[in-house]
Amino acid sequence: MLDTASLTRIGFLTLPNHSMIACANALEALRMANYVTEGELYSWRIVTMDGTPAVASNGLSLSPTHALAEAGPLDLLLVCGGTDVRHAATPAIADALRRLARRGVALGALCTGSFVLAEARLLDFYRCAVHWENLPALREEFPRITFVEEAFAIDRDRLTCTGGVAPLEMMLTLIEAKGGRALADKVSEQFIVDRAPRRPEKVVARPRPLLPDPTLARAVRLMEAAIEQPLGVSGIANRLGVSARQLERLFQRHLGVAPAAYQLRLRLERARELLRLSPLPVTDVGLACGFQSAAHFSTAYARHFGRPPSRERREALPAAPARPGG
């Protein structure tokens, strides 16, 4: 079992177009822990494969940046992802990560960096947290990984995080393991963060407006949980203990749309995510979203988005690199 208190020498492998906010939240937590203790609890290195600073999605880069091979001893390496991560998952990075794993270095990821670990087969049979936008696609693509709808996941020697401000909470968990709750609270106070006892933080798969009616909210959750095998309106109503007519009225009153139309929109939006973020064949995307007929899928998709799924795929994933072996 990994002792998270022992993770004090931490590397940040920054990928092209990485999320600066995710990386900075994790790194600043370490800096602040050193500041409030007036010591050197943690050390860190910003690294890339060749030492050339990676440009983040906001156009900035971090300096100094070291080559991974020259970073010195590390207890934990965090892969910092962001946009277009599929093209950043090179065989060279996968090989380097596997070597580190064989040497006993703990591996982790911020934001979409989990994809790089997944491609390298370093998350098989682990729990993993990833940004909600990428969650459906990765679940389809990597069935041996247990994806969780939590802000972060620490499973043995793998630490994964959704991104945004969530890395701060994950690092506060490491800081608490090292220096106790009081130290973690002092770091939180410096960042003006109210740290409630709710770790690992539960997050929804997709942010949505608060729904005013609890029955309506439960109906929407049922629809989201049954994308591949959609429940009919009558089936949803039966599970909720209401009539189909009552369900129709709820959707019309609060959302201005029939429940069947709302459910179809959810399925099509999920299909667009898979087309944009996964390499699944278009036919398989349709099946994963409850369309048994390719023609029906194509027609419904084109009617909703104004272009067929085949065009969506061509524009979203041009010449993605091959998956590394191993």
DSSP string of 101-165? HHTT-EEEEETTHHHHHHHTT-STTSEE---TTTHHHHHHH-TTSEE-SBSEEEETTEEEE-STT
| Contacts of residue 55, Cβ cutoff 8 Å, sequence gap at least 6 | 16, 17, 61
Where does CATH 3.40.50.880 sit in the chain?
A: 4-191
Burial of 281 (0-12, 13-18, 19+ CB in 10 A): exposed
What is the dotted CATH code of the domain comprising 214-316? 1.10.10.60
What tens-digit pLDDT sequence spans the chain (326 residues)?
A: 689 999 999 999 999 999 999 999 999 999 999 999 999 999 999 999 999 999 999 999 999 999 999 999 999 999 999 988 888 899 999 999 999 999 999 999 999 999 999 999 999 999 999 988 888 888 888 999 999 988 999 999 999 999 888 999 999 999 999 999 999 999 999 998 876 654 444 544 455 667 888 999 999 989 988 999 999 999 999 999 999 999 999 999 999 999 999 999 999 999 998 888 788 899 999 999 999 999 999 999 999 999 999 999 888 765 444 343 33
Cβ contact 128:160 at 8 Å: yes
DSSP 30: H
Q: Which CATH class is domain 4-191?
A: alpha beta
Distances (CA, A) of 144 to 94, 138, 228, 259: 18, 10, 18, 33
- Of the candidates 96, 114, 105, 92, the one whose C-alpha atom is nearest the C-alpha of residue 18 is 114
Rg over CA atoms, the chain: 22
pLDDT at 197: 55
Cβ contact 265:273 at 8 Å: no
pLDDT at 131: 85
Q: How far apart are CA 152 and CA 160, in angstroms?
A: 6
Where does CATH 1.10.10.60 sit in the chain?
A: 214-316
